[in-house]
Each structure stands twice: as structure tokens, then as C-alpha cells.
Amino acid sequence: MLLAGDVGGTKTLLGVFERNEPRPVARAVHSYPTASFLRFADILDAFSRDVKDPLTVEAVALGVAGPVVDDRALLTNVGLEIAAREIGARFNTTRTRLLNDLEAMASSIDVLGADELLPLQEGMMQDGMRAVIAAGTGLGQAYLHRTNGRWQPVPTEAGHADFAARTDRELELVRMLRERYGRAEVEQVISGQGLLNLYRFTHRGGECTVVHDLNAPDAPALVSQAALAGRCQFCVEALRMFVSAYGAEAGNLALRTMATAGVFIGGGIARKILPAMISGTFMDAFRAKEPLTGLVAKIPVHVILNEEAGLLGAAVAAQRL
């Protein structure tokens, strides 16, 4: 059996998969609140209890929300440390790999069905790279290049790159972010925390009763729900700015990687705000890339609807070990 994981800042998904080409078959999947555990070994203990049957694992692959260096990772937004060697020793296998979470998600693209992808722009498939961007607790980006007939994912930490303002309103936002954090990075705008930063920004000088505690886990969801329902004009502007910045950054990624074979939007936020994603704001910002508007207008762009794409991609990676 294969053990796969998607270890995020908010939740961790672990699953046992059976080999099946090209798409492994899930036999048991369980979810855990990441921040509730002091050690990753404790999450594995909980998973072993929940699965009940003794785990005989031949290969392990885990997507983790942080940079992977020398087969070790420290989650950026939680502080949980994971080491491939320790996991391999636990399951008595040397076929163990840690991947950046977007690298894992990118590994799922080739096995997703048409019903698991929502087109924002049909475009025209061409030779070139693929790219994946996903906003959730944080913001991740990865790209894929084709080698020997297989798409090879490449991780990045581009979510922590500098945020580029495009309008006078966004320049005001950058000033606020610099005052609050010392610098303005992309993840501070395009993520769950980023949506709350936009809420703070649009509500300066205005009142709103939508969110009473910005530290509450459901605070970003409350903002987006109020915006989609039109209950608060400040929330509406916050979500519009979020979607526009998201589209612009996806377009930047497309240009940086020449992703003429497609851009894929993952993460939980896009699925939860689909009405805003399909409104035109996202794609208008994506295509606003003069003098290369014609180029990006031909790139296929899809939202990943499968909420376990990162876990599935980790299983694909485990199957290749």
C-alpha cells in the first residue's frame, strides 16, 4: 500500500492508497487539525488508530506547506517539523519523499478528470510549461515541465515574493502592509490571511458587523460570504481586490513560466468563491499583460474542483517511488 499526505497549515489529510495506473485508488482517508498536534508523529499515531488495520506501507510521499531541504521540512505557518528519514524508519521503507504541497498538487494534474476541472478560459493547448497556483492558509505556486513524456513538477516559494501593486488603491494597500509587516509579500494579499488584510484595509474608517474576531478560524469565510451575499460594501471591495490580485498573480506566473500548456487554480478559497472567480474579474486581471495580452489570452485556465488534489498528487508521487 501507499501512504500519502497533504500537510497544510490548517489541516492535514492522510490516506492509504492502492496502486493503480495512472491514478492510485484511495482506501482510507482521514483529516486532522494540524495545529492541534505538537509533533507530526502524533498525527501518524492518530491515523494508525483511525485506520485500525496494521499499516504495511511500501512507499510514502507527503506534500508539506513549506520548503523542503535535504528531505526535511518546517511548515511555514505552523512550525511543525517533518523528516523523511524518520517517517521511513517508522514504516520500515526507504521509499519516502517529502514534497512541497504545490509540487504534490501539481502531480495530480495529469490524472484529474474533466469533471474535476472548471474552465475559466478554454484557451488553446500548446507546447510549453504548466503552472499551478493555490491560495488557502498560505499561497503556493509550482510549475511543470515535460521530460521523457512525463510532467515533472518543480516547487517554488513564490508566495513569499514581493507583492506588486498595479493601481493607486493597491499602492495604498502596500503602505498598510509595510506598516504592519515591514514588507508587502504576495501571500499577505492572496491567502486566507490576505483576505483579512484586505478586510482591514477596506474597513478603515468604516464599520462592519460581519466579523467580530479576526483571529477566529472562520473569519476569512465570513468575509467572503458577506461579500458574495452583498451584505457589506467593504467586504465586497475586499473580495473584488482579492480576486483581481489573484488573477494578476496567476497571469504573472503564466508569463514567468511560459505556461502555454495551462494554468491551474487550486486551494480551498477558489472553490468557495466560485461566483467571484467566474465573474470576469479574475480573468480580466490575468489577461491585462500588455504587450503580451494575446499570449495569455490563449492559455487554458482551470479551477481544480477536487478538494483532495494535493493528497491525490502525493499518492501519484508515492506510486512513482
Residues 272-284: tens digit of each pLDDT: 999 999 999 999 9
Task: Say how far apart CA 275 and CA 286 lie, in whole Å.
Answer: 17
Contact 278, 239 (CB under 8 A): no
Q: Is the pLDDT of residue 214 over 90?
A: no
pLDDT at position 145 is 95
Work out the pLDDT band at 69, boundaries 50, 70, 90. Answer: very high
What is the strand order of the sheet 25-33 is part of? Answer: 25-33, 11-18, 2-7, 59-64, 96-100
pLDDT of 41 > 80? The answer is yes
Q: Is 63 helix (H, G, I), strand (E, B) or coil?
A: strand
pTM over 0.85: yes
Asked whether the beta carbons of 186 and 139 are under 8 A apart, the reply is: yes
Residue 258 carries which DSSP code?
T
Q: Where are the alpha helices (DSSP H) in the chain?
A: 40-51, 84-91, 101-108, 168-181, 192-202, 219-229, 233-257, 268-272, 274-277, 281-287, 293-296, 309-320
pLDDT surpassing 80 at residue 206: no
Least confident of 18-32, 101-115, 136-150, 200-214: 200-214
**Cβ-defined contacts of 238-242 (< 8 Å, 24+):** 238/195, 238/198, 238/199, 238/201, 238/202, 238/203, 239/195, 239/198, 239/273, 239/276, 240/276, 240/281, 241/169, 241/170, 241/173, 241/189, 241/198, 241/201, 241/202, 242/189, 242/190, 242/194, 242/195, 242/198
| pLDDT score, position 44 | 94
Residue 155, beta-bridge partner list: 142
What is the mean predicted confidence (pLDDT) over 56-82?
91
At position 277, the amino acid (one-letter code) is M
Model pLDDT, residue 208: 75
Residue 56 or residue 26, greater confidence = 26
pLDDT digits (tens, 9 = 90+) for 231-270: 999 999 999 999 999 999 999 999 999 999 999 999 999 9
pLDDT at 125 over 80: yes
Give bridge partners of residue 62 from the DSSP assignment: 5, 98
Q: Where are the domains of the chain?
A: 2-107+308-320, 114-305
Average pLDDT of 117-121?
A: 98
Residue whose cell numbers read 481544480: 304
At the topology level, CATH places domain 114-305 in Hexokinase; domain 1 (3.40.367)
Residue type, 88: G
Domain 2-107+308-320 has CATH 1.50.10.10: no
Whether omega for the bond prior to residue 155 falls within 30 degrees of 0, making it cis, is no
Q: Would you state the pLDDT for residue 107?
A: 97
User: Residue 46's pLDDT is what?
Assistant: 95
pLDDT at position 142: 97
Task: State yes or no: pLDDT of 143 exceeds 80.
Answer: yes
